Amino acid sequence: MSANWLRLLLWLLWPLFWLQARHVRRVTLRLPEPPGQRTGVAGSGSLVRLLVAGDSGAAGVGAPTQDLALCGHLVRCLSHHHRVEWCVLAAKGLDSAGLLQLLNQAPRRQFDVVVLSMGANDATGLCAPLQWAVWQTRLADLIDQRFAPALLVHSAVPPIHACQALPQPLRYFLGLWARQMNHCLAERLSEQAGRTLQWHPATTTQVGMAADGIHPSSEGYATWAAGLSTCILVAFDPEQQGSGISPPALCIDDAQA
């Protein structure tokens, strides 16, 4: 569906969407960020310095502990092949502007790989897809300046169409809006080395969802991390030592494209 059709749909159904959004805010279970360490070292072998940054997904909302959240699962996957020094910089409720401020306040530090979980709050805030892609470029530029990673993985806006806490047709519309955001970003990344887009597994079921019907459960985070780890590992040249990384291709799930 084109951006113009999405705007028309929004204009026609705005009163209904507004009422449904108010209802969701009133009744949805509010889950906390899970406890646990947000920095650490795991595994052995050549060094990979990993930063997971972003919104509630990066912060692990929906998991019981950080060890069972996105970064915890991702570190376990990568530590089978490398020594991983990892860090989480994330907070629930952040949009792209909020993350830009958070990262700008973080100490400068060298990372080899940065995973960016960002977009759900931009989507529910109806950030225009093209403008959202511009925000991701601004984030990428700041990340390059402060952390100088060889690889930046943009984790796509999650499949909002699968969030059972959202009623129809709001869920359907936001799912289309999120997909349009992802495609705008994919077009910008198609010729850029060192930046890649990893799409979420396609699902419309409750499997892998937390109790709030919005965030992933531990199982959902494990599936998400498995895809990210594959994307990261294929960027590494196994014949190189240390943190040598080759420019990756876009890691796009054809089911979502």
Domain ranges, ordered by start, for the chain: 3-29+39-233
Query: What local confidence, expressed as pLDDT, does residue 150 receive?
Result: 95
Query: What local confidence, expressed as pLDDT, does residue 206 receive?
Result: 57
The alpha-helical segments, DSSP class H, found in 125-169 are 129-147
Query: What local confidence, expressed as pLDDT, does residue 133 receive?
Result: 95
Ranges of residues in the chain whose predicted pLDDT is under 50: 204, 238-257
**pTM for the full model?**
0.89
No. of helices (H) and no. of strands (E), the chain: 8, 6
Q: Does domain 3-29+39-233 have CATH number 3.40.720.10?
A: no
Query: What local confidence, expressed as pLDDT, does residue 190 receive?
Result: 81
User: Measured between alpha carbons, how far is 73 from 224 in angstroms, rounded to an integer?
Assistant: 9
With b for 16 or more beta-carbon neighbours within 10 A and e for fewer, the 141-150 pattern comes to ebbeebbebb
